[in-house]
Amino acid sequence: MIAKLWHQYGEQFVRFFVVGVGATLLHWGIYILLNCLFGLTDAQSLALSFTYAAGYLISFAANYVASLKWTFKTEGSVSKGLGFMFSHGVNFGLHIGLLNLFLWAGLGTWMVSTLQNYTPWLTEWVPALNDAANLLPLPVFVIVVPVNFLMVRFFLTRGSK
């Protein structure tokens, strides 16, 4: 059963993860590059918003192509593109909603306390783990990444063999 699930979804999920990490690095890199090219500072928030959006749009397009060609090995179409955009809109909403829910529930603070109690050496070695804001995205990723994988897979593999 597990071998069948791995064969059906596992390899795609690993490729999905690699593409997602690549898209994130591409987005961040374009954002930094544009900011350097235009000499932008944090005082120019509107301009920074444009460079952030430009990086996101370029990485979104690259993510779409890589997801089609490598992750799910399928052909593109207008409906698949719209489905991809829809799934990423839902994904963004899940990210923001869960992050705020977990923040309201105090999950980050609980995670820091648990790490400090059970692995104090780890929180001393990596001081960033003592900040609830740094840990809070982790449970969000645990929920959102598989959900986004299933949505993107659904929209990009519809009608494929």
Look at residue 158 in the predicted model and tell me its pLDDT.
76
Written as six digits, the tokens of 27 are 């987005």
Query: 33-64 pLDDT, tens per residue?
Result: 998 899 877 667 778 888 888 888 898 899 99
Sequence-distant (6+) residues with CB within 8 A of 94 are 140, 143, 144, 147, 148
pTM flag (> 0.85): no
Task: Spell out the per-residue pLDDT of the chain, length 161, in tens.
Answer: 777 777 777 888 889 889 988 988 898 889 889 988 998 776 677 788 888 888 888 988 999 999 999 988 888 888 888 988 898 888 888 878 887 888 888 898 899 899 999 999 998 998 878 877 777 778 888 888 788 888 888 888 876 65
- How confident is the model at residue 72, as a pLDDT? 84
Q: 45: Cβ–Cβ under 8 A, 6 or more apart, which residues?
A: none
Element (H or E) spanning 155, and its range? helix 137-157
Task: Check residue 118 and give its pLDDT.
Answer: 96
Count CA atoms closer than 13 A to 36's CA, side-chain side. Answer: 6
C-alpha span between 40 and 35 (Å, rounded): 5
Instruction: Specify the pLDDT at position 70.
Output: 92
Distance, CA of 34 to CA of 50 (rounded, Å): 10
Q: Give the span between the Cα atoms of 55 and 59, in whole angstroms.
A: 6
Instruction: Give the pLDDT confidence score for residue 161 in this predicted structure.
Output: 58
Give Cα 135 to chain centroid, integer Å. Answer: 15
Contact 34, 54 (CB under 8 A): yes
